[in-house]
Structure 1
Amino acid sequence: MKKRAIMLAGILVSGSMSFAQNVQKDSVKMVHLQEVQVVSTRATAKTPMAFTNVNKEQISKQNLGVDIPYLLSLTPSALTTSDAGAGVGYTSLRIRGTDGTRINITANGIPMNDAESHTVYWVNMPDFASSLKDIQVQRGAGTSTNGAGAFGGSVNMQTEGISMVPYAEVNGSYGSFNTHKETVKVGTGLLDNHWAFDARLSNIGTDGYIDRASVDLNSYFLQGGYFTGNTSIKLITFSGLEKTYHAWYYASKEDMAKHGRRYNPAGKYTDANGKDVFYKDQTDNYHQTHYQLLLNQRLSPTWNLDAALHYTRGNGYYQEYKTDSLMEYGLSTYILNGTEVKESDLIRQKKMSNDFYGGVFSLNYNNNQLSASIGGGLNEYDGDHFGKIIWIKNYVGPLNPEQEYYRSTAKKIDGNLYAKANYELGSGFNIYGDLQYRYINYKINGTNEKWDKRTKAMQLLDINENFSFLNPKAGVNWELNKHNRLYTSFSVAQKEPTRNNYTDGKFSEYPKSERLFDYELGYAYADTWFSAGANLYYMDYKDQLVLTGELNETGEAMAANVPDSYRMGAELMVGAKLDKNFRWDINATFSKNRVQNFIEMLYEDEEKNPIEIKHGDTPIAFSPDLILNNIFSFNYKGFDANLQSQYVSKQYLSNAKQKNQMLDAYFVSNLSLAYTLKLPHVKSASIGITVYNLFNEEYENNGYAGSGYSGSNKERYNYSGYAAQAGTNVMTHLTLRF
């Protein structure tokens, strides 16, 4: 603790943020014919909103196999989690305390969020970072974009432009827990003055820090382009195939004390000898393929058109060992040794098959005084959810492993139109306006996988919901001089519930849509060696669906509407280039996140006789009061060194503010060392090592919690599980470019 306090105090002395303030350049200047949907959905230095740009060099330095959330973990107000404990496999990103279901994710302006869960499962996009040019992270409601509503932030990814010269690249990583990554990239360069093609193949695997948290990921990325005059057309396809052992069950503190921090209860059962063993095929299996057809047409020196068609195919299942009531799967009881068996060990498969397709566009205008865009998109999702029982222990009677015990179909239409403009009145003073209309129709029909005790049948789903949202945004940006900038903005965002909000809630009561009023005020200073900034925000929510801390059967977080809640905070940034070789960046978020007048419903044995507990104002779950990031960077004649540190204050696992349901504060540092040299017949060769969790911090960054009461005196009890993270571990890497 003393060591941690000394290090933390040293960081706090300097104040605050700037992970990427130095790259806060007008992104309009970066646009060329190969890029689609950059101007219309991205913020620029004249946009009065908080954002961070992460360029390809910054991505490459950390892209050793970890998922994209971990590449963004040091951007302001960002937090990451890892089920397997080492950043590979199922990971998630939170911005300003909001979870992934409320973070809008796009690639080339095309929605990446799953239409039903609103989540991006990064495990289905392995090594996508190796094909990215840059990423912009907007905090708050952000600019109007396509797809899911942004309630905490948005992540706008842009894939690499096609190389005009031939190249080849091979890189590999290997480290603790048998973690490895192999990537091969090649490009033809420009052929016949019009054509060019790029390709990437990747494999990522790990045994995981958590027991049996193995991951096997394979992916490809292909793109081809045709360029002529003022027109460019690109066809992109990328695909991911994953097999991941379940690690989302987490472990209680009691289990960790008894079995160790790496304990994973998933797939546990008792064999014929009475010994506890684990099912070997407790796995998640999914294949997802994306297709994007991108057009950029320059109409004049001031006008250009971006348009895209897209299609995504997803198919897969997860398999697990359970002990359950046979009736809840539509199966008959059976007689074994003279006893009626109503509950038995079984293996089930829960499957998904879905298609997502549509188009997006933007017509953009830009001159010295005015930049404006009209854009939008229309997308449709068709999905099937169904499940099968493939084995039952000692089952007597016919068992058809192809017999389904539930099936539902979902259809969602999502359309939006927006218009935005940024006009310079003079003397560096800009006004910004942005108006979006969004319409959603969402239907679910069939049976759900949950048993309805009232009807003694699977839960019936007959949902047909329509939503119409009008989302205005406005602000001003004032460049006082070449060093100083002030901005302020007000935004409205609205968002429909997710599938889980419907299926995991009360069978007879639908969740409400959410609304956000986002107020932002910021200041930035920048010169050749020093940058600093501050952003103040107040996010006022109506009917926010907040995380309760509990998990459903698939390990996804559950949420419920609360009438009034807010998030407010200050994001501070400082960056200094102390000499030509050494740079220091630091950012901090101080925040207060509250549910107002929170009323908790507590059940006897978690299922009957509910009672109300009025808590007053309580902290929103998974929302720390302080996030602090520090980066020391040193570069000299091909040698590169980085020491990155993050401090996160305590987080509650539910909104009831229970001290025994809490993630403790943690302070984690990573040290990266790399050297780049020239070799014969090789453009460059880089070799390096990264030491994660340098000081062997023992911490958890995710979890779940639940509560109930028992007895006539209504004695409360709590339970919780925690995602333990790896101690000190290393990753080596080698990259050859030709």
Structure 2
Amino acid sequence: MKLINKSMLSVVITLSTASVYYAQQVQDTVKTTSNDIEQVVLTGVADIAKDRKTPVAVSTIKEAQIVERLGNQEFPEILNTTPSIYATKGGGGFGDGRVNVRGFDMNNTAVMINGVPVNDMESGAVYWSNWAGLSDVTSAMQVQRGLGSSKLAIASIGGTINVLTRAADKKREGNVTVGLGNDGYLKTLFSYNTGKSANGWSTSFLMSRTAGAMYVDGTDFESYNYYFALGYQPNKKHDFQFTFTGAPQWHMQNYQSRISDYIKYGEDGEPNRRYNPNWGYLQGETYSQSVNFYSKPVASINWDWNISEKSKLSTVLYASWGRGGGTGFLGSINGNNINSAKLKNSDGLIRWDDIYAWNQGTAIADFTNAAGTAAPANPTPGIATRNNGLVRRSHINSHDWYGFLTNFQHKINSNWNFSAGLDGRYYYGYHPGVISGFLGNKEYRENSNLNAAPYYTVTQSYDPKPSANPFVKAIKDDSQIASRNFNGEVLWLGTFGQLEYSNDAISAFVQGSLSNQQFQRIDNWIVDGVTKQQNQVVNTKTGFKGIWGYNVKAGINYNINEQHNVFANMGYYSKQPNNYAVYPNNQQVLNSNLQNEKIASAELGYGFRSSAFRANVNLYYTTWKDRFQRVTNINIPTPTPSNPNNQTRAYANLLGVQEVHMGMEFEAFYKVTDYLEFNGMLSIGNWKYKNNPTGELFDDNNLPLTDVPNATSNSVQLALDGVKVADAAQTTAALGFTLKPVKNLSVFSTWRYADNLYGTFNIDQNFIINNGVIPKAAEKGALKMPSYNLFDLGLSYTFNLNNGNRLIVTGNVYNLLDTTYISDGKSSNHVKELGDFKDIKNGAGVVTSSAQQQYDAYINNPSNFYKGLDSSNQVFFGFGRTWAASISYRF
């Protein structure tokens, strides 16, 4: 869990075709325009553009599709039928889903709520568990692929996902919903909208609870969602909207495992897709080492002022108070950490009861040391330290965040429009640690706080669940902090402007922004002016480091006739690095090679519209230069007369890391009759690293290797040119239909295909070019995962009751054919070759096992392989067949 930040953004969105058709239950797709979106969502300062006008690639998911099809899936998975989107459930815990856009992860894709980015202000990450409740109040979910037409300098390298929620003045209606699903999933919801009164007041309210377990074992969860909106429109000049929403939740998590472990705990050679190595039973109750808990209430006040027929001012003030974190473990048992196989039973579950007993002094026979020769009892029963005894800790990631955005729009004449604005933010993140489970210990001794040497005692345990109070203090008791204690402070101020031109055939825009972002790191456990990090004296506060960034973008759309249009856009970003690049290795030392990331992108698009058929085709090319990348644990020869094999451990901050993402996207919608509709998409990407970056070497004391005697090198070059970008399928396709055989009944199905999915890999010393020789790691590159096909099936039926009331029943089956597939590759261990083995000799120098013998034993053992992959690879398997159903009473 990380902190989630928020800033306002004006966004221009073109309604595209393939996804819009799902709004048929609201109104006929062919008649859909941007106006119907404005009537059901809170737009605030967000600009909703019109089809065949704004030159950006966009897909829109409407409320009807979310209600019908989301069920118990992860919120971003609803986007999987749109081009260049790859969304998965990640580890399978509630809210742990992730999404990539054009091959860029969430750190480089802007996610916004009503035009407000929620990417973490320190790392840029997005955690969907904080926003899972948004599916209850979303009226539209829109994706701009590429740099888009947003006015601010945001992290939209891959694209922008904008979630638009209901407005307070949505039409008068109430809703009671009960949802069920596999593995005990239960959801209850109540909402009511008053509609707008004669004197301009309106309110909207929602409360829901979702609980149960996910498909993967040991993933219990509980989540609440509350939403309140108050609107007031005293006259046509002024419109005020206040919203307050939050989704407190806790959920158990799952980490990736080796394929061999999935098979080990499966049956008949098939992997156990439900296997989770993070949990077990403690005194008969489910207990997990990894629990995520968070509450992030968000409040905003929007004011739209129609100054005149030509001028409008939109302003929003907003605040966010994130509270929560995630658990892990401190300490060990006889040198074994919590993930050691010795601490697991025959089913792969953690032996919590035995750990509890060992902590209290009982000797456990098979809790042997690393050599496997002894299993001593705990020498300090009931007392845990970083090196002895096991306790569960929580790393807290709370924040206080405040901001404003004001946007002035002026219509110069019938063709020209101008807008400009300011964007300001203040963010303070709290990152202490606390104990969340002593497991039989009575105390934990913390020795990392240099202000309280040699140690102090922690005796208080905090339950890893969010507080019912959304404004609870981020740090409860400074004397009970354990594991870590640092803070982060971020300041942001930006300005932006846009000039637009439009007539009946042509629409164009040019825009730019300038921003200054300042970072400060605060370490509460060091001693001012005494503590050294990387050979430098440091203080508790680093002081602010300010960095300028900017972007410029332009685009043009030409409507050839009523059916055909073409568009083009291009842009350039100079993007500030995140906090963890400014202060790498989570220390107080400023990165000496700090530089902005440079992103350039160009796009061409074509659209076709008719009464029955719509289609879009896009071509894109994006370069991403000067990514921050640190390579550690590099061993550089520093021979001495007494030790010719001496080595010095070093690190390098690489310069010139570059990625190139190019591809083609196609989406279409075909309405055969009033009873049958088809939609489809195809996206083909080619995402690779480009060039071989270099980096100056430093030793662990932060001294350049030029200052280290006898160093054979003071810089390195890594072979990355041509290596595939990992973590998202570069080829995706989908084909779906909606059949309406009788009035009020919809039957729908979707086929999805994913290919060219590559496993992640570490950019490390294995990629270093030595004497011009390209290493094997670079030659082999990222590991390609098997392709897969999935089918989903669902239906929805509406019963019309008296007085306009309705009863809506939905049902969905996901992965209908129960296909076994790898959704996420988390390593790139290629099948071994003969050259990967070495002769083994005994102490007398006699060869006891030749490389050929080892290779033959490896290659002839079927358990070493799975669908052509080395079974040592770490992966996530996708869920098997799951289901969800709901019944809603609308009144």
TM-score, normalization: structure 2? 0.70
In the alignment, structure 1 residue 374 sits paired with structure 2 residue 479: no
The corresponding residue for 1:353 is 398
Q: Distance in 1 between matches of 2:568 and 2:532?
A: 50
In the alignment, structure 1 residue 240 sits paired with structure 2 residue 287: no
Residues 436-515 of structure 1: pairs in structure 2 closer than 5 A? 436-446=513-523, 462=542, 464-501=544-581, 505=585, 509=591, 512-515=595-598
Residues 553-564 of structure 1: pairs in structure 2 closer than 5 A? 563-564=657-658
Give 1:537 shift. 0.3
Give 1:23 shift. 7.3
The corresponding residue for 2:304 is 296
Unaligned runs of 5+ in 1: 1-15, 549-558, 602-608
Greater CA drift, 684-693 or 301-310: 301-310
Give 1:118 shift. 1.6
The corresponding residue for 1:190 is 196
Give 1:478 shift. 0.6
Q: Distance in 2 between matches of 1:471 and 1:24?
A: 35
Secondary structure of the 2:257 match is coil
The corresponding residue for 1:362 is 407
* 1:631/1:228 CA distance change after superposition, 3 Å: same
Contact 1:639 1:674 survives alignment (8 Å): yes
Q: Distance in 1 between matches of 2:536 and 2:499?
A: 56
The corresponding residue for 1:100 is 106
Contact 1:310 1:357 survives alignment (8 Å): yes
In the alignment, structure 1 residue 733 sits paired with structure 2 residue 886: yes
- Higher CA-based Rg: 2
Q: Distance in 2 between matches of 1:28 and 1:149?
A: 28
The corresponding residue for 1:388 is 434
**Letter paired with 1:388:** V
In the alignment, structure 1 residue 620 sits paired with structure 2 residue 627: no
The corresponding residue for 1:647 is 753
Q: Distance in 1 between matches of 2:880 and 2:677?
A: 27
* 1:374/1:33 CA distance change after superposition, 3 Å: farther
Q: Distance in 2 between matches of 1:582 and 1:357?
A: 49
Residues 428-484 of structure 1 show CA distances to partners (whole Å, capped at 9, x for unaligned) of 1223211111221111121699x9997899999847432212211112211011111
* 1:338/1:172 CA distance change after superposition, 3 Å: closer
The corresponding residue for 2:365 is none
Percentage of pairs with the same residue: 19
Secondary structure of the 1:162 match is coil
Contact 1:33 1:232 survives alignment (8 Å): no
Q: Distance in 2 between matches of 1:712 and 1:456?
A: 42
Secondary structure of the 2:248 match is strand
Which of 799, 814, 817 matches 1:677? Answer: 799
**Letter paired with 1:391:** F
The corresponding residue for 2:155 is 149
Q: Distance in 1 between matches of 2:253 and 2:751?
A: 29
* 1:404/1:594 CA distance change after superposition, 3 Å: same
The corresponding residue for 1:556 is none
Contact 2:57 2:144 survives alignment (8 Å): yes
Contact 1:246 1:266 survives alignment (8 Å): yes
Q: Distance in 1 between matches of 2:96 and 2:32?
A: 33
Give 1:293 shift. 0.4
Residues 280-325 of structure 1 show CA distances to partners (whole Å, capped at 9, x for unaligned) of 4641111110001011112223322211100000111322345449
The corresponding residue for 1:10 is none
In the alignment, structure 1 residue 413 sits paired with structure 2 residue 566: no
Contact 1:684 1:736 survives alignment (8 Å): yes
Q: Distance in 1 between matches of 2:558 and 2:114?
A: 29
Give 1:641 shift. 1.2
The corresponding residue for 1:46 is 53
Give 1:185 shift. 0.6
* 1:514/1:719 CA distance change after superposition, 3 Å: farther
Greater CA drift, 89-98 or 714-723: 714-723
* 1:546/1:688 CA distance change after superposition, 3 Å: farther
Residues 237-316 of structure 1: pairs in structure 2 closer than 5 A? 237-247=244-254, 249-259=255-265, 260-267=272-279, 279-280=287-288, 282-316=290-324
In the alignment, structure 1 residue 536 sits paired with structure 2 residue 548: no
Secondary structure of the 2:627 match is strand
Give 1:114 shift. 1.9
In the alignment, structure 1 residue 431 sits paired with structure 2 residue 520: no
Q: Distance in 2 between matches of 1:238 and 1:577?
A: 38
Residues 362-406 of structure 1 show CA distances to partners (whole Å, capped at 9, x for unaligned) of 122356423332233111111110113463776899642314332
Q: Distance in 2 between matches of 1:575 and 1:463?
A: 55
Contact 2:91 2:256 survives alignment (8 Å): no
Which of 789, 792, 806 matches 1:667? Answer: 789
Q: Distance in 2 between matches of 1:140 and 1:313?
A: 30
* 1:237/1:101 CA distance change after superposition, 3 Å: same
**Letter paired with 1:489:** N
Contact 1:223 1:234 survives alignment (8 Å): yes
Q: Distance in 1 between matches of 2:41 and 2:181?
A: 36
* 1:453/1:663 CA distance change after superposition, 3 Å: farther
Secondary structure of the 1:255 match is helix
Q: Distance in 2 between matches of 1:326 and 1:84?
A: 29
Contact 1:126 1:218 survives alignment (8 Å): no
Q: Distance in 2 between matches of 1:452 and 1:334?
A: 37
Contact 1:372 1:422 survives alignment (8 Å): yes
Q: Distance in 1 between matches of 2:799 and 2:196?
A: 27
* 1:712/1:598 CA distance change after superposition, 3 Å: farther
**Letter paired with 1:534:** V
The corresponding residue for 1:6 is none
Contact 2:218 2:279 survives alignment (8 Å): no
**Letter paired with 2:317:** L
Residues 679-718 of structure 1: pairs in structure 2 closer than 5 A? 679-680=801-802, 683-705=805-827
**Letter paired with 1:421:** L
Unaligned runs of 5+ in 2: 1-15, 22-28, 266-271, 338-358, 362-375, 446-456, 460-479, 632-652, 696-711, 762-776, 841-850, 856-869
The corresponding residue for 2:737 is 632
The corresponding residue for 1:80 is 87
Q: Distance in 2 between matches of 1:729 and 1:567?
A: 34
Contact 2:240 2:303 survives alignment (8 Å): yes
Q: Distance in 1 between matches of 2:160 and 2:30?
A: 18
Q: Distance in 2 between matches of 1:182 and 1:562?
A: 51
Contact 1:286 1:314 survives alignment (8 Å): yes
Secondary structure of the 2:483 match is strand
In the alignment, structure 1 residue 519 sits paired with structure 2 residue 599: no
Contact 1:106 1:146 survives alignment (8 Å): no
* 1:448/1:135 CA distance change after superposition, 3 Å: farther
**Letter paired with 2:81:** L
Residues 560-639 of structure 1: pairs in structure 2 closer than 5 A? 563-597=657-691, 614=719, 616-635=721-740, 636-639=742-745
* 1:457/1:206 CA distance change after superposition, 3 Å: farther
* 1:102/1:679 CA distance change after superposition, 3 Å: same
* 1:505/1:513 CA distance change after superposition, 3 Å: farther
Secondary structure of the 1:254 match is helix
Contact 1:542 1:565 survives alignment (8 Å): yes
Q: Distance in 2 between matches of 1:244 and 1:630?
A: 33
Residues 107-165 of structure 1 show CA distances to partners (whole Å, capped at 9, x for unaligned) of 22222222112222221123212212222210001113447321100012222122465
**Letter paired with 1:414:** W
The corresponding residue for 1:555 is none
Q: Distance in 1 between matches of 2:166 and 2:623?
A: 37
